[in-house]
């Protein structure tokens, strides 16, 4: 049960959307704004390179392959966890 009425929640969503669009409209360099988020995202090879203790800016071919394999392994593990959670939910179990 929510503290706000449906009308109030809808209005808050609208204000939030306006704020987001205004913020992006005032952003001159979108790439620079997102650079930190991208650098800290597991979707990036550089993130996995850092986890392996490598310098993401100066990766050799072998190091890049290591980081790419670490990235693939990360997403495979994530996929397994998601599938297991869905199975538990389907069987009426509690999430881990």
Taking only the tens place, the pLDDT of each residue in 13-34 is: 999 999 999 999 999 999 999 9
Same domain, 34 and 76: no
pLDDT band at 3; cut points 50, 70, 90: confident
pTM, full prediction: 0.65
pLDDT band at 95; cut points 50, 70, 90: low
> What pLDDT shows up at residue 92?
86
Q: Whole-angstrom Cα distance, residue 36 to residue 19?
A: 21
Same domain, 44 and 55: yes
Same domain, 62 and 16: no
Structural domain range at position 77: 40-96
Same domain, 96 and 53: yes
Same domain, 55 and 33: no
Give tens-digit pLDDT for 59-90. Answer: 999 999 999 999 999 999 999 999 999 999 99
Q: Whole-angstrom Cα distance, residue 19 to residue 25?
A: 10
Hey, what are 35's tokens?
């650079």
H or E element that contains 2: none
Same domain, 21 and 47: no
Phi, psi of 17 (to 5 degrees): -65, -45
Same domain, 31 and 47: no
Same domain, 35 and 48: no
Same domain, 48 and 92: yes
pLDDT band at 40; cut points 50, 70, 90: confident
Hey, what are 3's tokens?
């503290």
Phi, psi of 29 (to 5 degrees): -110, 90
């Amino acid at each position: 049960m929510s503290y706000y009425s449906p009308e109030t929640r809808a209005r808050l969503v609208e204000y939030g959307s306006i704020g987001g669009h205004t913020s992006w409209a005032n952003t001159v360099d979108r790439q620079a704004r997102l650079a930190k988020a991208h650098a800290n995202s597991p979707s990036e090879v550089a993130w996995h390179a850092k986890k392996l203790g490598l310098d993401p800016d100066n990766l050799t071919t072998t190091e890049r392959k290591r980081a790419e394999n670490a990235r693939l392994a990360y997403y495979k593990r994530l996929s397994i966890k998601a599938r297991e959670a869905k199975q538990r939910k389907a069987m009426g179990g509690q999430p881990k």
